[in-house]
Amino acid sequence: MKEDILLNKPAPQFKLPDKDKRVVENNNFRGKWVVVYFYPKDNTKGCTLEAIDFTKSINEFKNYNAVVLGISPDSPESHCRFYDKHNLNLLLLSDTDHTVAKEYGVWKKKSMYGKNFMGIERSTFLIDPEGRVRAIWRKVKVPGHVDEVLETLKSLQ
């Protein structure tokens, strides 16, 4: 398998609004592990399950000095509704123009029911306290994914 171009390199920098329209920079988390997960759309089945799974494990991530950032093309207002509806406990960031998704290589041509379109390829990046990408999961399948990320985080510490 071809090694991912971002692996062991400095993570692409970003500044994105959260659900409350506060700008969040990934540089603000230096000294912590950062889980950045990209997902296609608020309130869809897989994305909801993934957000709930990360929320259920959020205290364990915190115990390992990690923050969890979910990024999608949805607006801050959509994130706010999604967050409240499912009692989430993680940072949701809006990448409405797909700039950050492109930097991380997750804005891809997709197809469904014979139609081609551009969209987010569900992916997760684990960034170390110095800002380097230490693990990457692309084309993520939701069941068991959060546990796998947590196990990798533990093994790298």
Query: Active-site residues: which are they?
Result: 47
- Say how far apart CA 26 and CA 62 lie, in whole Å: 16
Q: Give 37-91 pLDDT, tens digit per residue.
A: 999 999 888 898 899 999 999 999 999 999 999 999 999 999 999 999 999 999 9
> Which domain CATH number covers 133?
3.40.30.10
What is the extent of the structural domain holding 131?
A: 35-156
pTM of the model: 0.92
Residue 45 inside a domain? The answer is yes
Q: How many domains does the chain have?
A: 1
pLDDT band at 122 (very low <50, low <70, confident <90, very high): very high
State how far the alpha carbon of 31 is from the alpha carbons of 82, 102, 112, 144, in Å.
Answer: 29, 25, 41, 27
Q: Give 16-29 pLDDT, tens digit per residue.
A: 999 999 999 998 99
Residue 29 inside a domain? The answer is no
